[in-house]
Structure 1
Amino acid sequence: MMRMVYALYTRRLRRRLDGAVMPRHVAMVMDGNRRWARQRGFDDPRIGHRYGAEHLDEVLSWCAEMGIQHVTVFVASVDNMRKRDAAEVGNLMRMIEQVVAERLSRPSSVWRLHVAGRLDVLPDSTRHALKLAAEATRDSTSGFHVTIAIGYDGREEIVDAVRELLESESRAGHTVPDIAQRLTADRLAAHLYTNGRPDPDLVIRTSGEHRTSGFLLWQAAYSELHFCDVYWPGFRKLDFLRALRSYAARHRRFGA
């Protein structure tokens, strides 16, 4: 009975969103995998990473259905890579290689893959798998783009962008005063990991945490934020549609 009620409500909410203003770009913090596994009674909470990785495939299908062309997902931060138990990090990286990279590179996938983050902190096998998947999807003409933020930290991204801009300007023969005079937000943004992709309109974080944890610090300056109490593997289509409903009901002011 509950499944039937859920299905009916989901279909009704989906119909109500017809004609509503939809985000062009949705960014998501995939949080709560281990807590979901503990809640479900699994002996090893690391199994939540597999369920979380597999669930991304389903969430991307919802995005495509709603015509959302750009999706960015926060998989792991630099701190996750450096400070968490090595076995847990290794398990998460295997899930990225075996589930995310493999599924996105299938011919049936409509998504073109991009990667954002400090790839030097990733294991060689993970870096290689993501590189192959990105190359396999490079010629996609579907118009759908997914960015995997892995080994990512928003502050380090900005530092890297400033460093790259300075190095580029220096190679062109510009002095420090020249660089300072020429510096603009657009010039700096051109050196971010996400250059060439639009800023997110909506950022969703699962697990009930009400913070962005350094995710897309620059890009999300004017994004609408939506915090969802469910853990990522339990994030339902109904929860996703509610986030879109909330977005459609807001009047975006872009800092005005």
Structure 2
Amino acid sequence: MPGIDPDKVPHHVAIIMDGNGRWAKARGLPRTAGHHAGVERVREAVRTAREAGIANLTLFAFSSENWNRPKEEVQDLMGLLRFFIRRDLAELHKQNVRVRVIGCRETIQSDIRPLLIEAEERTVANTGLVLAIAFNYGARDELTRAMRAIAVGVAEGRIDPATITEADIDCHLDTAAMPDPDLVIRTSGEQRLSNFLLWQSAYSEFVFMPCYWPDFDRAAFHEALAEYGRRNRRFGALAAPGLAVGQ
């Protein structure tokens, strides 16, 4: 890929897809138009990730706080999710993409839950890009649910609290068996995590793009990857001369 060292491609990229509403407002369009345009960028982001050799791509699609948005907007977002799965699942499966869904499922609408399960089950054996959709997701909620599960294990005598490690916490998170993100990208110019992958992004690199999500095209993705490739990741230690990113 032009301008990107193949030895410095991140294994896991997580993206906070922000700015759909502002993109639409700047064009005198309803917020829903921004969400529809954003879906097209999801498709392009998946293609770009596969081309770049990225193994894991996590997209922050709908947060647990987004239910507080106007009812009409939430309904439109749910409709877009249904449309995306019904239209794109076959193509993702054909491309050997494995779909995972992270987030709390208990409060998801009953007609959407089976679609999410279908997406996961249909692609579970695929060995290509892992596409994780963060839906009804909040990192504090994720950590709370993980702590509850560990607490149950302690109460039942299956877990010794004195031996709990970071790895034990990892395996109780929604992202269990996925590597932590090497790179977290946020569009729209905002510079915060907004309750996204708080535990997992402890040593992630962050790239904040000024463009709104509907404008985050292939070139913008390449720009973010190139910036990542210029970083010297030390993980709290001194980097050895010539050490490649991610090593």
TM over 0.5: yes
SS at 1:121 equivalent: coil
Query: After superposition, what is the alpha-carbon deviation per residue over 1:77-135, rounded to whole angstroms, capped at 9, x for unaligned?
Result: 11112x11111111101101111454134342331000110112221222221111111
Q: Which amino acid aligns with 1:92?
A: L
Query: What amino acid is the match of 1:115?
Result: V
Q: Distance in 2 between matches of 1:146 and 1:76?
A: 15
Are 1:236 and 2:217 matched, yes or no?
Answer: yes
Uncovered stretches (5+) of structure 2, i.e. residues with no partner: 238-247
Match of 2:17 in 1: 30
Which residue number corresponds to residue 28 of structure 2?
41
State the secondary structure of the residue aligned to 2:84.
Answer: helix
Partner SS state of residue 94, structure 2: coil
> Could you say what secondary structure the match of 1:135 adopts?
helix
Partner of 2:147: 162
Q: 1:202 aligns with which of 168, 173, 183?
A: 183
* Residues 182-191 or 164-173, more deviating: 164-173
Q: Structure 1 residues 236-245 or 209-218, which shifts more? A: 236-245
Matches within 5 A, 1:60-79: 60-79=46-65
Write the distance in 2 (CA, Å) between the matches of 1:247 and 1:173.
41
Deviations 1:132-178, CA, capped at 9 Å, x for gaps: 1111111213x31010001111111111111111212333455xxx4
Distance 2:85 2:234 in 1: 35
RMSD: 1.5
Judged with a 3 Å threshold, the aligned counterparts in structure 2 of structure 1 residues 173 and 138 are, in CA distance, closer, same or farther, namely closer
Kindly provide the CA deviation profile for residues 33-71 of structure 1, in whole angstroms up to 9, marking residues without a partner as x: 1111122232x2212112112220111100000000100
8 Å Cα contact 1:105/1:136 also seen in 2: no
Distance (whole Å) between structure 2 residues aligned to residue 164 and residue 190 of structure 1: 11
Which among 177, 184, 203 is matched to residue 165 of structure 2? 184
User: Which residue of structure 1 aligns with residue 77 of structure 2?
Assistant: 92
- Which residue does the alignment assign to 1:151? 136
What is the CA distance between 1:20 and its match in structure 2?
4.4
Q: Partner amino acid for 1:111?
A: V
Separation in structure 1 between the aligned mates of residue 165 and residue 5 of structure 2, nearest angstrom: 39
Q: Secondary structure at the match of 1:74?
A: strand
Are the equivalent residues in 2 in contact too, given 1:207–1:232 (CA < 8 A)?
A: yes
CA-to-aligned-CA distance 1:219-239 (integer Å, 9 cap, x gap): 000000000011111112111
Amino acid at match of 1:29: I
How many residue pairs get aligned? The number is 236
Q: Which piece of structure 1 moves more, 117-126 or 88-97?
A: 117-126
**Where in structure 1 are there 5+ consecutive unaligned residues?**
1-13
Is the 1:53–1:100 Cα contact (8 Å) retained in structure 2?
no
Distance in 2 (CA, whole Å) between partners of 1:221 and 1:105 is 35
Residue of structure 1 in register with 2:96 after alignment: 110
| Residue 140, structure 1, aligned to residue 126, structure 2 | yes
Letter in 2 for 1:216: L
Q: What CA distance in whole angstroms lies between the structure 2 residues aligned with 1:165 and 1:71?
A: 27
Percent identical among aligned pairs is 39
Larger helix percent: 1
